[in-house]
Amino acid sequence: MGPDGTWSIGELAAQAGVTVKTVRFYSDRGLLPETTRSTGGHRRYGPEALERLRLIRSLRTLDLPVPAIDPLLDREGALGDALEDAIARQLRELGTQLAALRWREAALRLLHDCPPEERADRLRLIGAVSVPPDTTVLARYWRRILPVRLPARQVARIVEAAVPDLPTDPAPAQVLAFARLHATVTAPCPGGGSGGRPPSAAEQAPGFRPAVLYDGLAEAYELTAPAVGAGRSPHPGEALDCFVAAHAGAHGTTDSPAFRHRLRRQLADSAHPVMDRYWRLAGELVPHPTLGAAHDWLRAALDTHLEAPAAGR
């Protein structure tokens, strides 16, 4: 340190354990202001520059980009209030990167462990999906097939419930399940567009009220979830009554033995292989029962009720 209490660029670099090039790099970008200049025009730095330089280096070890560091430092070189936001942003980005690596590892294990004759087909499936995967295509699928007369709030709620939350640390089988799910909803239909479920005859009937149906179904599925999750056999009860009432209300009628028989036939006629495949694959991605599992349970409960001796109400 010179008699004026300042360091040359080389002395500061030596004190900090970095190269002169590093000090010059940060200084040129305004992160490390010089205190003064020598008579020969050389940069001189005060003692506070050493602490500031160490702070900059610490922030860089967190992989913060250089442009993001300047707002974090005040004139005295202390950390600004923006550090917490910057760290949170880095954590989110790191989480995304780690998720991508985990999905990529699981995909590689899937390809490594599968029979050779299946490898090309699985590679094609996996190659169509981004890493980490994005569920936007699933949300678009649901928005396309839901009745157009549904209020936006209901559409948003249904999409949120129907699109599975993807695991952050997937097993190879889950990578394959999502790739197949992605292929299912993007597959072209014979009549054009992407794979989906055509509206049933009941849904096209005059006076059909889809908002009433989906409000009631949401309640019925919620009532069903504990039984489905516990693996209990389908049976009549409050959940089934709510399920039937939702369908009856949507058609402007009331629950009755005759309506239950008619509903059973309508549900059988409206079953679609694409939806069955969707829910089967979605069920492999989440630890909880899907809406499809709840729907199947309620259909089976209706069958059980109608097939029981003296069925009716």
258-286, pLDDT tens digit by residue? 999 999 999 999 899 999 999 999 999 99
Residue 122 above 80 pLDDT?
Answer: yes
Question: What pLDDT is stored for residue 197 in this prediction?
Answer: 56
Instruction: Please state, in angstroms and rounded to a whole number, the distance separating the CA atoms of residues 313 and 310.
Output: 9
Question: What pLDDT is stored for residue 172 in this prediction?
Answer: 97
Instruction: Please state, in angstroms and rounded to a whole number, the distance separating the CA atoms of residues 272 and 292.
Output: 12
Question: What pLDDT is stored for residue 46 in this prediction?
Answer: 87
Question: What pLDDT is stored for residue 77 in this prediction?
Answer: 46
∠ CA 96-102-108, rounded to 5°: 135
Mean of pLDDT values over 101-124: 95
Tokens of 253: 């009628």
Instruction: Please state, in angstroms and rounded to a whole number, the distance separating the CA atoms of residues 77 and 300.
Output: 68
Measured on CA atoms in the order 265, 267, 271, 277, is the torsion positive or negative? negative
pLDDT above 70 coverage of the chain, percent: 89
Question: What pLDDT is stored for residue 227 in this prediction?
Answer: 96
Question: What pLDDT is stored for residue 93 in this prediction?
Answer: 86
255 confidence band (pLDDT: 50, 70, 90):
very high
- Of residues 311 and 12, more confidently modeled: 12
Contacts by residues 227-235 (CB-CB < 8 Å, ≥ 24 positions apart): 227/297, 228/289, 228/293, 228/294, 228/297, 229/288, 229/289, 233/304, 234/297, 234/298, 234/300, 234/301, 234/303, 234/304, 235/301, 235/304
**CA distance readout (Å), 13 to 2, 27, 50, 78:** 15, 12, 9, 20
Question: What pLDDT is stored for residue 48 in this prediction?
Answer: 86
CB count in 10 Å sphere of residue 32: 23
- Of residues 39 and 92, more confidently modeled: 92
Contact between 234 and 297 (Cβ < 8 Å)? yes
Averaged pLDDT of the chain: 88
If DSSP codes are grouped into helix, strand and coil, which group holds residue 79?
Answer: strand
Residue 78 above 60 pLDDT?
Answer: no
Residue 195 above 60 pLDDT?
Answer: no
Instruction: Please state, in angstroms and rounded to a whole number, the distance separating the CA atoms of residues 298 and 287.
Output: 20
Residue 80 above 70 pLDDT?
Answer: no
pLDDT above 90 coverage of the chain, percent: 63
Contact between 195 and 186 (Cβ < 8 Å)? yes
- Of residues 94 and 72, more confidently modeled: 94
Question: What pLDDT is stored for residue 196 in this prediction?
Answer: 54
Contact between 237 and 224 (Cβ < 8 Å)? no
Question: What pLDDT is stored for residue 41 in this prediction?
Answer: 80
Question: What pLDDT is stored for residue 88 in this prediction?
Answer: 84
Tokens of 94: 């790191």
